[in-house]
Amino acid sequence: MAVYRKETIANILLVEDEETLRENLKLNLELEDYEVNIATTGPEALQMVKKEFFDLIILDIMLPEMDGISVCESIRLTQSHVPILFLSARNSPADKVLGLKKGGDDYMTKPFNLEELLLRIQKLIEKSKLSMVRNSVPAVYKFDDYLVDFSAHTCSLKSGEVQELSKKEAALLKLLVENEGQVVSREHILQVVWGYNVYPTTRTIDNFILNFRKYFEADSRNPKFFHSVRGVGYKFTAN
């Protein structure tokens, strides 16, 4: 008999060094159909965030090697969109305010009510996904003197030449066009174009952008349409 694995509804990073709490929380999250990844130190969490897209990060504050507040600040240098929920034994109003000021989206104290925690997690993920809903782009899109056919994976250049696009090129180009005028983070590109479990190097994404500049820019060293934002991601501007 075939065994089917239920699809997870979101990918969560749980950063917690206390083993019993960590395992109990991981089990309960998995029962809600979340995929749960574990980190037990601050540096370990940062390494995982660099390599993988997460829909939510649950972050303890009192961690070995690097405290959760510093971890949150480091994440916010490159990722503004991923929701971060602090889960901490520190329960003073000042602690909560500090956590939210430093980039947290929510703050719960230990011990916590599991049902309330699960509800807050659900709401944070739903809110984040709604904020990333993209603008609708037609199958054939025109900007400047260029015509891109996303269905056929081709673009018509100013010279009249038709340039074929690879499947990944078309997907990345569409993502940038859908977010026209906004910076799209590397992490979001990984999620949409490559999927959760395949992580190209930074250089791979850079090469795609260089290809776009060859196709569409009059001067690739002074791009008008395709911009790199150092340490964050990429932006497309139509004008």
- Give yes or no: residues 87 and 69 share one domain: yes
CA dihedral 91, 103, 21, 14 (to 10 degrees): 180
Q: Is residue 111 part of a domain?
A: yes
pLDDT tens per residue across span 45-84: 999 988 888 899 999 999 999 999 999 999 988 777 789 9
Those residues with Cβ within 8 angstroms of residue 183's Cβ, 6 or more apart along the chain or in another chain: 229, 232, 233, 234, 235
pLDDT score of 223:
94
Q: Which amino acid makes up residue 81?
A: H
Q: In which band, very low, low, confident or very high, does the pLDDT at 2 lie, cut at 50, 70 and 90? A: very low
- Give yes or no: residues 86 and 162 share one domain: no
| Mean of pLDDT over the chain | 88
pLDDT more than 70, % of the chain: 91
Which domain CATH number covers 116? 3.40.50.2300
- Give yes or no: residues 43 and 121 share one domain: yes
Query: And the tokens for 225?
Result: 């349409």
- Give yes or no: residues 16 and 103 share one domain: yes
Which domain CATH number covers 186? 1.10.10.10
Q: What is the mean pLDDT of residues 102-127?
A: 93
Question: 162 φ, ψ to 5°?
Answer: -100, 120
Alpha helices in the chain, H assignment, sequence order:
19-31, 42-51, 68-76, 93-101, 114-131, 167-178, 186-189, 202-216
Q: Which amino acid makes up residue 40?
A: T
**Domain termination site, one of 131, 150, 177:** 131
Query: What is the total count of domains within the chain?
Result: 2
pLDDT score of 133:
60
pLDDT tens per residue across span 165-182: 999 999 999 999 988 888
Q: In which band, very low, low, confident or very high, does the pLDDT at 201 lie, cut at 50, 70 and 90? A: low
Q: Is residue 3 part of a domain?
A: no
The pLDDT of residue 202 is above 90: no
Q: Is residue 2 part of a domain?
A: no
**Domain termination site, one of 88, 110, 131:** 131
C-alpha pair distances (Å), 170 with each of 14, 142, 192, 218: 34, 14, 12, 20
Lowest mean pLDDT among 8-12, 98-102, 129-133: 129-133
Q: Which of 108, 113, 84 is nearest to 96 (CA)?
A: 108
Host domain of residue 33: 10-131
Higher pLDDT, 132 or 6: 132
- Give yes or no: residues 58 and 82 share one domain: yes
Residue the block writes with tokens 């590397």: 186
Lowest mean pLDDT among 114-123, 145-154, 156-165, 190-199: 190-199
The pLDDT of residue 5 is above 50: no
CB 84 within 8 A of CB 109: no
Q: In which band, very low, low, confident or very high, does the pLDDT at 186 lie, cut at 50, 70 and 90? A: confident
CA distance 2 to 96: 48
Q: What is the mean pLDDT of residues 113-126?
A: 94
**Domain termination site, one of 131, 161, 188:** 131
pLDDT score of 134:
59
Query: And the tokens for 235?
Result: 């932006």
User: Any bridge partners for residue 228, and if so which?
Assistant: 234
Q: Is residue 5 part of a domain?
A: no
Whether this prediction's pTM lies above 0.75 is answered by no
Q: Is residue 85 part of a domain?
A: yes
DSSP assignment of 42-88, as one string?
A: HHHHHHHHHHS--SEEEE-SS-SSS-HHHHHHHHHTT-SSS-EEEEE
pLDDT score of 118:
96
pLDDT score of 195:
67
